[in-house]
Structure 1
Amino acid sequence: MRVTPDSINPMNAAPQFSLVAGEASGDLLAGLLLDGLRARWPQMRASGIGGPRMAERGFDAWWPSDKLSVFGYVDALCHYREILGIRNQLKAKLLQEPPGVFIGVDAPDFNLDLEADLRAKGIKTVHFVCPSIWAWRPGRVEKLKKSCDHVLCVFPFEPELLAKHGIAATFVGHPLASVIPMQSDKASARARLGLQLKDRVVAVLPGSRLAEIKHLAPRFFKAVAGMVIACPAMKFIVPSMPKHLPLLQKMAQECGVEKHVQILSGQSHTALEACDVTLIASGTATLEAALFKRPMVIAYALNWLSYEIMKRKKLQPWVGLPNILCQDFVVPELLQHEATPQALADATLAWFDAPEKIASLERQFTLLHTQLLRNTSELAAHAIDQVINQTA
């Protein structure tokens, strides 16, 4: 079946969109995008693969987003058959009932191949969040060109880079820059968590995916044990997805720190706003920490084979988004074998003795926040509207 331009009416008051978002970060971004689509088309409908934030906005999730949550090459191989099955079922459904536009939100390993198949059949495709071709896997740009009618970019330098390859793109700002206030309210956040303004507080974020937590949480909790010895009065807050609460509680107990950590159900933004420093897994959460202007220690560890593969494809010396965007090691990164509990504890504690360094970091992160701040929902909806009208 091939979708013809006449089968999509750009003037339709209730266009139908299909979205696929993987993991918690994709669910957050897609939820904010849905706000913009709803503002532009109040009667629009949206379905596909999504999480709780999308569901709150009326999204019809045929599969939950955590089905696509994998960690490294080895984890992806273990779940390959299930994920491929979901993609094939989704593709068949979308070809049978074509949406006005398909929007892949991040998750490039899943979305780009699906987008290419749909586009070949005449369905317009938009990819939200440019894959990090400037950081690693530059060969992916050709797949992006084949897969997408338009790319919504969250960083300002990306559209020019894509234009060199003949890919239409729009910088829409980063949605998190409009969600997180330019000036955070540490006192209010601490009050909500029962903490005092005088407390020394570390937010511990070992990731949102199960495999991430299994690799990182034990190291993080052992680092907490070391910090407790150095500073017994220090407070530790650990935001968690509700489904991971029992596992984190068990890990904290096994590491002997269950009495020293406050494990929260959700509330990652409250934790970042309340803390002085965060020990954090590399990923979108590090950008959230930067937008809250918090010093951090970025860590990552995964299966050794996945790490070796990824290391060979890396184009820049940095892994954490704050360092990549600032083009400098403004915060420490401890990866794989370097991410020992002692090293993590030492690097985290070091921030408490570096007020001048923190002040400089806050200025850099404020500038970064300003650069990323746009009306993302409105700009994204406008770009998608133009894609729809190109079919007429």
Structure 2
Amino acid sequence: MNTTDPRLALVAGEASGDLLAGLLLGGLKQRWPDLQSAGIGGPQMKRHGFDAWWPYDLLAVHGYSFELLWRLRRLFKMRAELGDRLLKERPDAFIGVDAPDFNLGLETRLKKAGIKTIHFVSPSIWAWRGNRIHKIRAAVDHVLCLFPFEPELYQRAGIAATYVGHPLADAIPMEVPRAAARSALGLADEATVIALLPGSRRSEIRYILPSLLGAAALLTKQRPALKFVLPAMRGVRDLIDPLVAKFAGQIDLQVIDGRSHEALAACDLTLIASGTATLEAALFKRPMVITYNMHWLSWLRMKGMAYQPWVGLPNILARGFVVPELLQDSCTPEALAQAAEQWLDSPARCEGVRQRFTELHHLLRQDTARRATDAIAQILGR
């Protein structure tokens, strides 16, 4: 083994973090073929030789879901055990991938002990919880930023940061493979297809999917030929199937295991939960209706911390309501169906948003794996 290749510890939470960390590890392995990596992660990371001491699913909880507070004790215990192990094994660096509620505390402990700490995916201090900047300063040596406006915010606070672009912009093709995706999903080229993406958390399935299915039922009454596709993330199929049976009715709906990128490439429009998936939909140049719903106490707390009027990444990056957002009380079947109809009835509007999203794709496509690897190499002095 090449003993000069680094040993890295990583923690990624949820499917989106696993995907981003997997893309990062791919670039790191190209530079350092004998790289060793371990920590908390999922299948995308394991493809690059990652040793998952715990599965990423254990971190897949919403930071302010009061109905899930009972799980916090388990998470604190896991973080303490992971910290003990890393302090004993002393990797060359720790990379926290998103999941700031879990990672920042761990990073603070490791940094105090002299282990280099890197945070990949900037916490959204520009959207809410801006006072977290002080905690970030204490926790990390360097932040790898996905969006071009972020490094200046960190540098003003005395935190080293590098814009590396978004790895999804590299992974998703500039030209959408619509025909291939439709063929893979058995969808006719002439069909009008709507993708339903309720999120990957169990709480999201419970709070959001019934409204999406209700909207699909209303749309079907007006347009019986509509086709719907619903990607089901790993670990939530047991929640999805009963809801489909209860609410889907006469909808022409295909539930698929994962394959969300194929669904986005194949669809004409998506009804989608706010989160990383909205950026994926934008990179596939798809018109969308962004929605979200959560426990009302969680909503009150998050709403009080918001700094700007948008929650969806496409709108945040565009600094305007390029696509509609229907949140909390507005997350109803009727409102979602109406917003979807407005897209379906306006081809010119759809073409305009495709052009905006193409510009966004070019902005974020920066060969993130190489840029991030270069930054990590400098931090490690290699």
TM-score of the aligned structures, taking structure 2 as reference length: 0.97
Give the AA of the match of 1:58.
G
Give the AA of the match of 2:381.
N
Q: Is the 8 A contact 2:217 2:251 kept in 1?
A: no
Q: Is the 8 A contact 1:72 1:302 kept in 2?
A: no
The C-alpha deviation readout for 1:261-295, integer Å capped at 9, x for no partner, is 10011110000000000000000000000000000
1:67 aligns with 2:46: no
Aligned mate of 2:33, from 42, 45, 57: 42
Gaps of 5+ in 2: none
Q: Is the 8 A contact 2:202 2:239 kept in 1?
A: no
Gaps of 5+ in 1: 1-10
Query: Is the partner of 1:130 in helix, strand or coil?
Result: coil
Instruction: State the distance in 2 between where 1:140 and 1:92 align.
Output: 25
Give the AA of the match of 2:376.
I
Q: Is the 8 A contact 1:155 1:171 kept in 2?
A: yes
How far does residue 76 in structure 1 lie from its aligned partner after superposition?
A: 4.8
Instruction: State the distance in 2 between where 1:353 and 1:225 align.
Output: 18
Partner residue in 1 for 2:363: 371
Q: Is the 8 A contact 2:216 2:251 kept in 1?
A: no
Query: Is the partner of 1:371 in helix, strand or coil?
Result: helix
Partner residue in 2 for 1:101: 93
Aligned mate of 1:198, from 176, 190, 193: 190
How far does residue 75 in structure 1 lie from its aligned partner after superposition?
A: 4.3
Partner residue in 2 for 1:135: 127
Give the number of equivalent residue pairs: 380
Partner residue in 1 for 2:141: 149
Query: Is the partner of 1:263 in helix, strand or coil?
Result: strand
1:182 aligns with 2:193: no
Give the AA of the match of 2:97.
V
Q: Over the residues paired in the alignment, what is the CA RMSD in angstroms? A: 1.2
Query: Is the partner of 1:173 in helix, strand or coil?
Result: coil
Partner residue in 2 for 1:6: none
Instruction: State the distance in 1 between where 2:62 and 2:351 align.
Output: 34
Query: Is the partner of 2:61 in helix, strand or coil?
Result: coil
Greater displacement, 233-242 / 291-300: 233-242
How far does residue 22 in structure 1 lie from its aligned partner after superposition?
A: 0.2
Instruction: State the distance in 2 between where 1:378 and 1:185 align.
Output: 25
Partner residue in 1 for 2:23: 32
How do 1:1-392 residues align onto structure 2 when only pairs under 5 Å count? 12-73=3-64, 74-257=66-249, 260-389=252-381
Partner residue in 2 for 1:4: none
Give the AA of the match of 2:266.
A
How far does residue 260 in structure 1 lie from its aligned partner after superposition?
A: 2.0
The C-alpha deviation readout for 1:126-169, integer Å capped at 9, x for no partner, is 00011111111100111111111100000011111111011101
Instruction: State the distance in 2 between where 1:246 and 1:115 align.
Output: 35
Query: Is the partner of 1:319 in helix, strand or coil?
Result: coil
Q: Is the 8 A contact 2:63 2:101 kept in 1?
A: no
How far does residue 388 in structure 1 lie from its aligned partner after superposition?
A: 0.9
Instruction: State the distance in 1 between where 2:29 and 2:46 align.
Output: 13
The C-alpha deviation readout for 1:196-245, integer Å capped at 9, x for no partner, is 11101000000011111111111111111111111111000001113322
Q: Is the 8 A contact 1:72 1:306 kept in 2?
A: no
TM-score of the aligned structures, taking structure 1 as reference length: 0.95
For the structure 1 residues 75 and 173, does the alpha-carbon distance in structure 2 shift closer, same or farther, using more than 3 Å as the test?
farther
Instruction: State the distance in 1 between where 2:325 and 2:85 align.
Output: 43
Give the AA of the match of 2:158.
G
Query: Is the partner of 1:243 in helix, strand or coil?
Result: coil
How far does residue 12 in structure 1 lie from its aligned partner after superposition?
A: 4.5
Runs of 4 or more, structure 1, over 4 Å off, are: none
Instruction: State the distance in 2 between where 1:333 and 1:159 align.
Output: 27
Q: Is the 8 A contact 1:252 1:258 kept in 2?
A: no
Instruction: State the distance in 1 between where 2:309 and 2:279 align.
Output: 17
Q: Is the 8 A contact 2:28 2:373 kept in 1?
A: yes
Give the AA of the match of 1:268.
S
Give the AA of the match of 1:245.
R
The C-alpha deviation readout for 1:49-87, integer Å capped at 9, x for no partner, is 001111121110011101011124114522110100110
Query: Is the partner of 1:217 in helix, strand or coil?
Result: helix
How far does residue 384 in structure 1 lie from its aligned partner after superposition?
A: 0.8
Q: Is the 8 A contact 1:224 1:257 kept in 2?
A: no
Instruction: State the distance in 1 between where 2:49 and 2:259 align.
Output: 22
Instruction: State the distance in 2 between where 1:76 and 1:371 align.
Output: 37
Instruction: State the distance in 2 between where 1:113 and 1:17 align.
Output: 18
How far does residue 13 in structure 1 lie from its aligned partner after superposition?
A: 2.2
